[in-house]
Amino acid sequence: MPKIRVLVVDDSVVIRRMVSDVLSGEPDMEVAGAAADGRIALQKIEQVNPDIITLDVEMPVMDGLETLKELRKTRRRLPVIMFSTLTERGASATMDALALGAVDYVTKPANVGSAAAALEKIRAELIPKIRAHVPQVAGFAAPPATMALSQMPRAPFSQAASRPATSRVEVVAIGTSTGGPNALGELLPLLPENFPVPIVIVQHMPPIFTKFLADRLSSKSQIHVTEAENRQELLVGNAYIAPGDFHMAVERNQDGVRIRTQQEHPENSCRPAVDVLFRSVAEVYQGDTLAVIMTGMGQDGLRGCERIREAGGQILAQDAATSVVWGMPGFVVNAGLADVVLPLRLLAGEIVRRVGVGRLPEINSRPFHVLKGRGQR
């Protein structure tokens, strides 16, 4: 049975060795080759024909971004996972790499205490992502939630699954992970500047990265996007992204609805977790919630969607064809919780339509396609 062939590209001998040791310990993977900079890597790609590449962001001679640009001229479909540092420079470069076509990223271990802990961190973060992006190699079957919709067992959708959008929406809650930064980059700029409710978002990302993501999204959107802060008031026409390594929830008091961040134990191995946010939104807004579950590995968001459905809220899911990994939305769809399953390009229009129900017509006063050409605030 063929193994997943990985090309490891990093200028650090220590990191190359650690990644190689981790890969060698997996029965379905092998190191196809290693390179210390991008120029060598581009030459080796033709020699070893890897299934996937791990690519360091910062390297001499030719860095990760330059390498990725050159690679995409000839190998547009070869998956690339970036290896980044937990720094502002690393976060910024990683955002650029994702925009250039990298499928995912892993942060290098730092201050983890020991070599064994560093190896375990790499194993825990890297191996599932490699398998998610190269599922057909080595005969490993993709989990049910990553199959195409037509291949999945048909779960009986509840009558709510085809329910028309008749209830008034007071908040939009979005959950996403793998592939999320680019998906949010397509979705949020299509929302109009007079969007009449707040948006709360969990994107699985580490600290520093979420701030850069929020700033980039805000720069090209008509609504304001920010990294959330504890006790921050939710305002209409604003989007709030959970800060890395903090759960985000909402709570209502005499002053209105505010954000609460905390560092309780991870859920679904995630902090922030979509389930934490979705549970709180269901409690505060009840049936006035519109949840959107988008591309991502795992099943974070499933239990939260159950709470939103029980409260009478609405749920939209991204389809398999436009998801980088159809894990999170796939679990929700397979559980019969989604009102509608849509490709990414249609999600914004459906959000606007449902949020507009029961409101004055201003939000829908302009043809939606007009917004597609607008990127700056």
CA pair distance 305, 292, nearest whole angstrom: 9
Residue 84 among the catalytic residues: no
Which of 94, 93, 48 shows the shortest CA–CA distance to 75?
48
CA distance 274 to 328: 10
Catalytic residue among 20, 84, 167, 177: 177
Q: Which of 204, 218, 221, 280 is catalytic?
A: 204
Residue 247 a catalytic site member: no
From residue 105, how far is each of 134, 204, 327 by CA, in Å? 15, 11, 17
Preceding peptide of 27 cis, ω within 30°: no
Alpha helices, H only, 109-238: 115-133, 180-187, 209-219
Of 51, 104, 288, 300, which one is the catalytic site residue? 300
Residue 293 host element (H or E): strand 289-293
C-alpha to C-alpha distance for 323 and 161, rounded to whole angstroms: 20
Contact 348, 199 (CB under 8 A): no
Classify strands 314-318 and 289-293 as parallel, antiparallel or unpaired: parallel
The answer to whether 157 and 79 are in contact (CB under 8 A) is: no
339: annotated active-site residue: no
Question: Cα dist. 114→118, 194, 245 in Å?
Answer: 6, 51, 21
| Beta-ladder partners of 83 | 56, 106
Which residues participate in catalysis according to the annotation?
177, 204, 300
